[in-house]
A and B are shown apart, each in its own frame.
Chain A
Amino acid sequence: MKTKFLYSLLVFIPILIVQITLITFITWNSIAPNFILILLVFYTIKNNQLFGTVLGFTYGLLLDLFTGGLLGSAMLSFTVSGFLAGYFSNENKRHIYFKPLNFSLIVLLCAIISSIMFSFFSTIDFSRNIFTSIFEDGLLPGFYTAIVALILIYFYPRRKLIES
């Protein structure tokens, strides 16, 4: 388990670099996909709920530290997302959850929750309409992340997923 955790942290570094530096090329109207969340959901389904919760917390902590954002906001949203994704880590149904459409729907659910929580805790101005905030900060980035997850899991080798 420790090796798996360390391996998932090693994979996190290049993904974080992509998330911070190269994301500008696929950002549309300030809406960007969350590659780190896709990685978190992937490893959580591959392992278990406890693994996902702790991994989400660690990913969030590193993201907050390296981007200079509000420390704790990504920690909280990723912890909850990892916990949520953990409900889909059933060993007997894993092959079903790794099907492209199912996987992207799980990512969509986690991304929406994560984005809403993140924006809620990092916004001080509460004068905005709550439904507008949910739509712009939660649904739009969530859908974009889900579409990217669908493409990535579609091209991910099936044999590797079954072996795991």
Chain B
Amino acid sequence: MTKLKIELIVNSKKRKIEITPSTRLIDLLRDDLHLTGTKEGCGKGECGACTVIMSGELVASCLVLAPQADGAVITTIEGIGSSDHLDPIQEAFIETGAVQCGFCTPGMILAARRLLEENPPPNEEEIKRGISGNLCRCTGYQKIIEAIKLSITRLSKSDSRKAK
């Protein structure tokens, strides 16, 4: 099959990649860029394990053709903190016990990251709606919601400190 050349920014790095027209964004991330933090669950956009942020929007990377992401700016879980410097959302997930098997966690954290950009900060209902595209079969969601609330509180505190 014909190969196409595309260019996109993944986790602040410019990438030039050759792909087939029917390659999915998730395959580009996992197989070509070896960013395996993005998980594949259902492959139908229903579980949210493959969630990434594409040009400012939450998307299911299993339902985006790689050529559709030509020119896009992508953030995957690898672009959020590192093992040495965790993102406050990641710290909050660990502290509240919001991670069990961990398979949904990358997608959940990206959904949370997107929620934290909302202004004013989301209330509980809005948090629930914000993560409604991400399935978790372990936690029962309560601890995930607590983790997101905790990171919102911390973020607003650090913001007000910065403002001073």
Q: Do A and B come from one complex?
A: no
Chain A residues at the B interface, C-beta cutoff of 8 Å: none
